[in-house]
Amino acid sequence: MGARSCCWPLGEPGEAGFRFCGADALAPKPYCAEHAAIAYVKARDRREDAA
């Protein structure tokens, strides 16, 4: 234990049921493998859109 937990938000902030993923995060990222991949794809798509 001692690993960081994924802070990917699930649901809508302020609504009941909102929570963070909580899976083991992959340092130095604040997200687990699944959510780090999503975050990476989103950032890459933006760059390609702008180009």
Site residues (vs Zn ion, CB under 5 A): 6, 8, 21, 23, 32, 35
- CB of residue 51 vs Zn ion: minimum separation in angstroms? 29
Instruction: For Zn ion, give the closer residue by CB, 32 or 47.
Output: 32
d(CA 2, CA 31): 15
Transcribe 7-46 into DSSP letters: --EES-TTSTT-EE--SBP-TTSSS-HHHHHHHHHHHHHH
Q: Which is nearer to Zn ion, 9 or 45 (CB)?
A: 9
CB of 36 to Zn ion, least distance (A): 8
